[in-house]
Amino acid sequence: MRLLLSPLSAAYAAATARRVAKPGHRVAVPVICCGNASVGGSGKTPLAIDLATRLRARGLHPALITRGHGGAKPGPWRVDPTSDTAADVGDEPLLLAEAATTWRGADRAASAELAVAAGADVLVMDDGLQNPGLVKTAALMVVDGGAGFGNGRVLPLGPLREPVAAAAQRCVAAVIIGCDTTRAAHSLPPGLPVLHASLRPHADDLARLPPRLLAFAGIGRPEKFFATLRDAGHPPLECRGFADHRPYSEADLAGLHARAAALNATLVTTAKDFVRLPVGWRAGIEVVRVGLHWQNAAQIEALLDEILATPCPPQK
């Protein structure tokens, strides 16, 4: 199988290299990209939210740029968390919009221009490391410490969108989220700064949890959420994993509620899953949000200092 797929893997890597080499659109404000080398969830959205929060604390007016997953509304679209739904714009844009003004659309350059016109003085991209449409001032490679880079091979032989070294060349630093059990740091170029962070549940959400729980999640790695609950001292009686971004059907939710009733348990899920639930099914379901906790917060603040001090290139 490896011999059969190796040419496809090489072709995929070559196509990505050609794509990222294309010239992109420049805007008049700094652009920070939170991307990764692999497919699947790595923590890009929590990092983007954390950076937007830090930038706002500095008195800046950041805007978040995302392609989003699914969603019926055409882009570019300014996400309104009070009226838009996951069916309209996707799940992650709704989470981003709670932290800062968020623009969603496949054309990131068009979203960026609208964001700047609306008053944004710095842009944070959730994903897009392999998309050349918008020139980045700086890119951060996000790595899930528990998944790492898999077998280190490019699709379809492995989980990578491009070789790690190629992606790292376009990044100013790597951010490893969670314990680096896969030794992903050893796969990174020696000169690339590596920052460490972890996802921690909000204490007030944990305080509301009853003792008997049935946990469910449809994220990149559902086990991450279940492990978070166990590590926080709230081990679920049962766990149900679903595909990432899955739009929950009434049959799914009826089954979850029935099983919870049989266990005399309360359903608990992630914020990303909760925004995908039909409003009529949300009652009685607990939500545990997570935030990024830095091993050394001074490092990310210093990196932001450097990025913001970088002169923006002239627009073309």
| Residue 102: per-residue pLDDT | 98
- Report if pTM > 0.85: yes
Q: Map tokens 């990764």 to a residue.
A: 36
Which residue type, as a one-letter code, is found at position 199? L
d(CA 81, CA 78) in angstroms, rounded, equals: 10
pLDDT tens for 55-91 read: 999 999 999 999 988 888 988 999 999 999 999 999 9
Is there a common fold for 2-199+293-309 and 203-288?
Answer: yes
Q: Please identify every stretch of the chain with a pLDDT value under 50, giving residue numbers as ranges.
A: none
pLDDT of residue 314: 63
pLDDT the model gives residue 315: 61
Contact between 143 and 167 (Cβ < 8 Å): no
User: For position 300, what pLDDT does the model report?
Assistant: 98
CB neighbour burial string for 169-206, b if at least 16 within 10 angstroms, e if fewer: ebbbbbbbbbebebebeebbeeeeeebbbbbebeeebb
Residue 45 pLDDT = 95
pLDDT at position 139: 98
- For residue 288, the number of C-alpha atoms closer than 13 Å in the C-beta half-sphere is 28
Q: What is the CATH number of domain 2-199+293-309?
A: 3.40.50.300
Report domain extents, the chain.
2-199+293-309, 203-288
Four-way CATH pick for 203-288: 3.40.1350, 3.40.50, 3.30.70, 1.10.150: 3.40.50
For the stretch 22-56, pLDDT in tens is 999 999 999 999 999 999 778 999 999 999 999 99
